[in-house]
Structure 1
Amino acid sequence: MLLALNFDWLTNLLAILFVIACLHDARYDEYGTLTLAAAAMGLIVMAIQEFLQPAFEMAL
């Protein structure tokens, strides 16, 4: 249960994915689609953490 409410590990994983995507796009992709996808996933996780985590904490 503690792991489900702790978003730090997911945020760190997405940060690593974003760096890898940036390095890959810098070398192979001129449009940066992988970087944009990783950034969008990061924003989604931050939104979930910001808006849903207080609801989970209040439910406990």
Structure 2
Amino acid sequence: MNLVLNFDWLTNFLAILFVVACLYDARYDEYGTLTLSAAAMSLAVMAIEVFLRPAFEMAL
């Protein structure tokens, strides 16, 4: 059984959230705060994936 840290579902969810945030901001929000927050969350998840995946793989 292969136990690895899997961020694929979270990355896909954040990509969908980012598209929805862009569409919402284009229609209703002139400052784009929702888009910026979705982008910040995506960057945080990508950083966690890059820095923590090797540690989890070595631990297993």
What range is the shorter-chain TM-score in?
over 0.9
Alpha-carbon distance in structure 1 between the residues aligned to 2:57 and 2:28: 43
Give aligned pairs, total.
59
Q: Which runs of 5+ in 1 are unaligned?
A: none
Other structure's SS at 1:5 match: coil
TM-score (norm 1): 0.93
User: Counterpart of 2:10?
Assistant: 10
Tell me, yes or no, if structure 1 residue 50 matches structure 2 residue 50: yes
Alpha-carbon distance in structure 2 between the residues aligned to 1:37 and 1:11: 15
User: Counterpart of 1:30?
Assistant: 30
TM-score (norm 2): 0.93
Larger relative CO (CA 8 A, sep 6+): 1 or 2? 2
Q: Which runs of 5+ in 2 are unaligned?
A: none
Q: Which has the higher helix share?
A: 1
